[in-house]
Amino acid sequence: MKKVIFILLFLSSMSVFAQTKTFIREYTYQASDYDSKVTARVNALEEVKRLLLEEVAVFMQSEFEDSRWEKRIGDEIQSGESTEKRIISITAGITQTEIIEEKWNGVEYWLKAKITIDPDEMKKQLDLILQDKEKTEELEKARQMADNARQEIQRLKEELKSVKNKKEKDALQKAYKKNIDQLDATDWFNKAKDADIQKEYNKVESFYLRAIELNPTYSDAYLNLGLAYFKQDRYQEAITSFYKVIELNPDDSDAYLDLGDCYRMQENYTDAIVCFNKAIEVNPDESNAYFYLGVAYYEQKDYTDAIVCFNKGIELNPDDSGAYFYFYLGLVYYDQKDYTDAIVCFNKAIEVNPDESNAYFYLGLAYRMQAIKYYQKSARLGDIDAQNELRKIGKEW
């Protein structure tokens, strides 16, 4: 019997490992006179990662049996981009490049690295990220920053070959090092994104801090660091990070939105409302700002302003996140004992998102309260059946 169990476990283990696929590539970087071991390593790592990500992207494209799914990846991409480039952008933030072996002899830096993926899990993660337009754009932006830095590095290397003036050479070498740091910072940023998906928040913090150390003006790293603090209820540290984003980019509506949410969680509604309004001022089409502004008003029982905000949010975004607006709008009416309008809103929330479980719960409560209200009115008019029904409901509660 033990042998049978062992064989079953062994077969199960084999099936698990059979689901993964490993890609291995190596790259040799020829160092120049102005390369150090550090800069040579960054260049070698970037190139071997690029080769690996391209291979993963080609493989994943071959895995897409549903052409409509592949088309979804290609939808809304910028002119000149391809499905493969979009997959590369996202894959960089949801995979880990593991260095197998590396050597430096003062002239060449050789690297051998691998990426291991589970194709089915990769599809799920790609799908989740594609549902979040902001995350997709963020990863594409990170890839573009890395591409720009790599191109600038190549340009500077060529220019350094011919320059003779020491002052000019020093300036070029400084620019070269800055772009190397940007390349490295982007790599740490992507590592942090992957760690965030895995909920390894201790790594997330250290990886974003490393990216910021390499590029102190990396606003996206500050923003995501703040979000990592927020997820851990470290609101004061999150507030500091979001203010740094605003300092670097005063027109970043996301930073104002996230800053306001920190204040809201601290029940500092005055500052929260200021931040949400600032997010709307910067981006009048920011439906999420209207949502959180409405929630802040709702939590203060300012129902009139809450209704205005939720209705504006629905106007701006009736489909994607409309369920949340309708649900909270229903809560506003429910708290005011307007069960008829509450029922309409909860039903609408369910229509937009049939998986909105809270809407079903409160819809049931609203129907119950509406019935009680009806029986109370009938009982006052002398309806015996209504009086009996109220007694029954009272016993149930």
The residue written with tokens 């573009």 in the block is 144
CA of residue 311 relative to chain centroid, distance: 26
Instruction: Give the mean model confidence (pLDDT) for residues 159-178.
Output: 90
Reported pTM: 0.78
CA 155 to CA 161: how far, in whole Å? Answer: 10
Please report, rounded to a whole number, the percentage of residues in the chain having pLDDT higher than 90.
Answer: 49
Average pLDDT, whole number, for the chain? 83
Look at residues 240, 113, 131, 251 and name the one whose alpha carbon lies nearest to residue 187: 113
pLDDT number for residue 391: 55
Report pLDDT digits (tens) over 261-290. Answer: 999 999 999 999 999 999 999 999 888 899
pLDDT number for residue 371: 72
Q: Are 21 and 116 in contact (CB under 8 A)?
A: yes
Report pLDDT digits (tens) over 181-191. Answer: 999 999 999 99
Query: Has residue 216 got a pLDDT over 90?
Result: yes
Query: Has residue 3 got a pLDDT over 70?
Result: no
Query: Has residue 375 got a pLDDT over 90?
Result: no
Query: Has residue 72 got a pLDDT over 60?
Result: no
Look at residues 90, 101, 85 and name the one whose alpha carbon lies nearest to residue 24: 101
Domain ranges in the chain?
A: 17-131
Confidence of residue 1 (pLDDT cuts 50, 70, 90): very low
- Tokens standing for 129? 């990220």
Instruction: Give the mean model confidence (pLDDT) for residues 88-108.
Output: 88
Query: Has residue 213 got a pLDDT over 80?
Result: yes
Instruction: Give the mean model confidence (pLDDT) for residues 54-61.
Output: 86
Calculate the alpha carbon distances from 343 to 201, 321, 326, 377 in Å. Answer: 40, 19, 10, 19
Query: Has residue 297 got a pLDDT over 50?
Result: yes
pLDDT number for residue 319: 65
Confidence of residue 85 (pLDDT cuts 50, 70, 90): confident
